[in-house]
Structure 1
């Protein structure tokens, strides 16, 4: 029976998983709550499995529902890619391109390039996903991705555009008030800005400086944009891309001889999109933009 279930039922299932209730899923999808209930019931009958149980906080997914989630998310990505492709045929650069990039790159670096790209190609539509999670290009969660690690998947077109340099920075008035640290030990007297949850970057930093752990941070947020905002506001000392710090004359480099990190930067897309005018134009523009960004990050 599962083979006769339409995609809309799986889409409803994913919305219930995400929203945690029938009413929330109905609002998200723009359908009625009874329709959501019928879709879930049809899936449960088809799989002969209970997918959700009721609780005081809403609907809780069963193990069966959690096991299905990855497959349904893959279906959603494929359906979205199909729609982007189907609506993008025609002469010239037209249609929708979905780009995945980290929070900082997506918010601080790409917008001027995207504005210029759309001036040249006004029929091009952009979906910009700001996430530090690596989007799966093989599952078509995005058409093009900007990644800070070399791509590991096959069937991808990948272009290395340089290295993004990071260092410790603080606002000048903060350093005037609290003093400029001369050694890593001096950082103990400062308000450090960092992550709440452990990250690969934090683990790499702690290898170079064993004291650089979650416990030393006076201000914690897992959002890179949040950390950047705290540094710019003069809240303390934190990591920032050197190219972005140079845009703000108030930001001063701290302990450059001890804290320097470089992240390889790549632009990638699925090789099946090689012949797509909309993807090729966007891919090429991203490469030029990020090559310029990484060039400004080179240490003097």
Structure 2
């Protein structure tokens, strides 16, 4: 291949892969459909391969397109990281910071911290990614991540912010109607809220809290936010982080049997230690999550 292929062609290719049709990809990118079509044709010609086949449902990716997808996604992540880095240069924190957290932490815990961060640094723009999958900081899928497991990669800056305990809880109204379990065996007579398809984390947690399985859950959802909403609504007994349960007035069930302590970390790539925007967000999350956890570990040096 003698010529350098324009990144815009790969960007269009990735949009068609994600959206499934030229029209949907054009809307996602804010471009004209014929332009997207020309980009795909140009990329196929430059690579010398076919990327899509047409069907009634849209464009179907070929094996070659599926093989190229992770590389195109890596290019997109690096391009976005480059844009965020460029926009953050200057004397005061400004630009875009992409933060990844679990569903519950991202939706229930971080919003007040991010509001405070924006009040202090109004030139910052925050992208909040809610996912129970650990975003890859090395591939720049996110700039900063809140994680419930110690990071393993040496290239990451990591600050412990405390231990968040998860236990079994119920709304007072549910317990008033159905009674409070006094022993593990009593749970069989209650409506339990839990997962549908277990993850590796849930399987590991189940080893430390036996007696709870998918078949025993009367209400199942793979969304932690849906489980929390059911718990608050008085639909049954389910798991909740202790600080959230205290905030919502939930009552703990069998604390001596069901307790999972999760060490919590704020992490970012070491290359971002001198990025003013990322440093401001990192410091704010470390302080905020320490307050949320209810106790702070010994002071440690901050990045930079």
C-alpha distance in 2 between matches for 1:208 and 1:214: 15
2:71 equivalent in structure 1: 71
CA distance 1:3–1:68, shift in 2 (3 Å): farther
CA distance 1:167–1:87, shift in 2 (3 Å): same
Q: CA deviation at 1:109?
A: 1.2
* Alignment TM-score, normalising by the size of structure 1: 0.93
Matched, 1:267 2:250: no
Q: CA deviation at 1:201?
A: 3.1
Paired residues for 1:42-57 under 5 Å: 42-57=42-57
Stretches of structure 1 that go unaligned for 5 or more consecutive residues are none
State the Cα deviation string for residues 142-167 of structure 1 (Å, max 9, x = none). 11111111112221111111111100
2:35 aligned counterpart, secondary structure = helix
2:91 equivalent in structure 1: 91
Native 8 Å contact 1:205 1:212 kept in 2: no
Q: CA deviation at 1:58?
A: 2.6
Stretches of structure 2 that go unaligned for 5 or more consecutive residues are 297-304
2:98 aligned counterpart, secondary structure = strand
1:12 equivalent in structure 2: 12
CA distance 1:57–1:193, shift in 2 (3 Å): farther
1:247 aligned counterpart, secondary structure = helix
2:301 equivalent in structure 1: none
1:281 equivalent in structure 2: 280
* Count of residues in correspondence between the two structures: 296
1:267 aligned counterpart, secondary structure = strand
Matched, 1:192 2:196: no
Native 8 Å contact 2:89 2:276 kept in 1: no
2:294 aligned counterpart, secondary structure = helix
1:253 equivalent in structure 2: 252
Q: CA deviation at 1:245?
A: 0.3
Native 8 Å contact 2:209 2:259 kept in 1: no
1:60 equivalent in structure 2: 60
C-alpha distance in 2 between matches for 1:108 and 1:171: 17
Q: CA deviation at 1:10?
A: 0.9
C-alpha distance in 1 between matches for 2:20 and 2:189: 44
C-alpha distance in 2 between matches for 1:36 and 1:235: 48
State the Cα deviation string for residues 186-225 of structure 1 (Å, max 9, x = none). 2222211111211123202321344422222221211111
State the Cα deviation string for residues 123-158 of structure 1 (Å, max 9, x = none). 122111111111111111111111111112221111
Paired residues for 1:44-193 under 5 Å: 44-193=44-193
State the Cα deviation string for residues 1-40 of structure 1 (Å, max 9, x = none). 4852211111111111111111111111111222222222
Native 8 Å contact 1:2 1:43 kept in 2: no
Q: CA deviation at 1:105?
A: 1.0
C-alpha distance in 1 between matches for 2:61 and 2:185: 48
C-alpha distance in 2 between matches for 1:268 and 1:253: 31
CA distance 1:170–1:277, shift in 2 (3 Å): same
* Alignment TM-score, normalising by the size of structure 2: 0.92
C-alpha distance in 1 between matches for 2:3 and 2:188: 61
2:34 equivalent in structure 1: 34
Native 8 Å contact 1:21 1:58 kept in 2: yes
Q: CA deviation at 1:63?
A: 2.2
